[in-house]
Amino acid sequence: MKSKLTILLLMASMLVTATAQEVEVTSRQRLLEGVEGPAYYPMLDSTGEHLLFLTDGGALKVHDLTDGVTSVVTRDYVAGHDACWGGDGNVYYVTQQVGEDHLVYRTGQCYDASTGKTVQVTEPQHGAMRAVPGTRGGALKAPGRGYASATDIGSAAWTEENRVHITVGGEERVFSPVDSWAGYLWASLSPDGKRVAFFAAGKGIVVIDLRGQMLALLGNYEMPCWYNNDYLVAQNTKDDGHQFTSSQLMLLKADGTWQAELTSPTSMAMHPTCGGGRIVYTTIDGLLSEMHIQIHE
């Protein structure tokens, strides 16, 4: 009886602790209002000082959040998620062109943010090519000839079909920790490099360690990005089979024990990105905003 009472008291204590946790949105402001048109797929660098985004026509631009200057990376077409910040401060991205044979050809590019110059790093090739950020550089993964900025780009994570690839100390590891009917997407390495979050169709967001062991399931949300080592921001979208009916941002604890809404379902907020304490996102209409939060534990 005494043992049961102890367990009940412990459970009650845990419940109080869990419900006491909350998040406060301390500020929210529009970005590039009246300066740029619709902006999609924002991506902050690790410092939170520079923001990549795509225009409505697929051009890639970078905005300096310190001095307010916006620069064009390329006016060639770049698809969503085909650009990333490397750990060396450069931008690695993929442009697309339709050849005379009516096939799509992809070309790997590297943009030096310090000089504003771009170097073509792969020849045009048919087939998938994905930009992969590393802690020391970046890479462009392709079935044909890819590219890496260095022999060791540091730690990195990316997905291919129903596999998640993790590079640690020059060693590539491949895992399939959960079954997924339509594969994995949106791998994201935690700031301390110890965990990876990704989306598995039919399962939602999965958190694993560097050995592929599943640590937590965070719910059926998309596009996870690490806010810090303990929390992630993700989008929660609903549709009717034809179009989005709602979309909001969620704050998720990495161990799966807690979550909170950062925006309302009617906000149509999506494509979250985090860096340097900032959260940047856009809406279905391409309206960019920046958010700051405070987590009370």
Among 214, 297, 295, residue whose Cα is nearest residue 256: 214
What's the angle, vertex CA 281, arms to CA 175 and CA 50, rounded to 5?
85
Q: What is the mean pLDDT of the chain?
A: 92
pLDDT digits (tens, 9 = 90+) for 71-119: 999 999 999 999 999 999 999 999 999 999 999 999 999 999 889 999 9
State yes or no: pLDDT of 11 exceeds 60: no
| 3-state secondary structure at position 268 | coil
**Burial of residue 96 (number of CB atoms within 10 Å: 0-12, 13-18, 19+):** middle
Q: What is the pLDDT of residue 20?
A: 67
Q: What is the pLDDT of residue 93?
A: 98
CATH architecture of 2-296: 6 Propeller (2.120)
pLDDT digits (tens, 9 = 90+) for 237-295: 999 988 999 999 999 999 999 999 999 999 999 999 999 999 999 999 999 999 999 99
What secondary structure, in 3-state letters, does 165-220 show?
Answer: EEEECCEEEEECCCCCCCCEEEEEECCCCCEEEEEECCCEEEEEECCCCEEEEEEC
**Burial of residue 15 (number of CB atoms within 10 Å: 0-12, 13-18, 19+):** exposed
Cα separation, 289 vs 42, in Å, equals: 10
Which residue's structure tokens are 């990333």?
84
Structural tokens at position 244? 């989005």
- CA-based radius of gyration for the chain: 20
8 Å CB contact between 279 and 262: yes
Which residue's structure tokens are 């006016």?
75
State yes or no: pLDDT of 169 exceeds 90: no
Q: What is the pLDDT of residue 5?
A: 42
**Segment (H or E) for 83:** strand 83-85
Q: What is the pLDDT of residue 97?
A: 94
State yes or no: pLDDT of 193 exceeds 90: yes
Q: What is the pLDDT of residue 3?
A: 46
- The per-residue DSSP string of 21-36 comes to -EEEEEEEEESSTTTS
Structural tokens at position 189? 């390495």
Global pTM exceeds 0.95: no
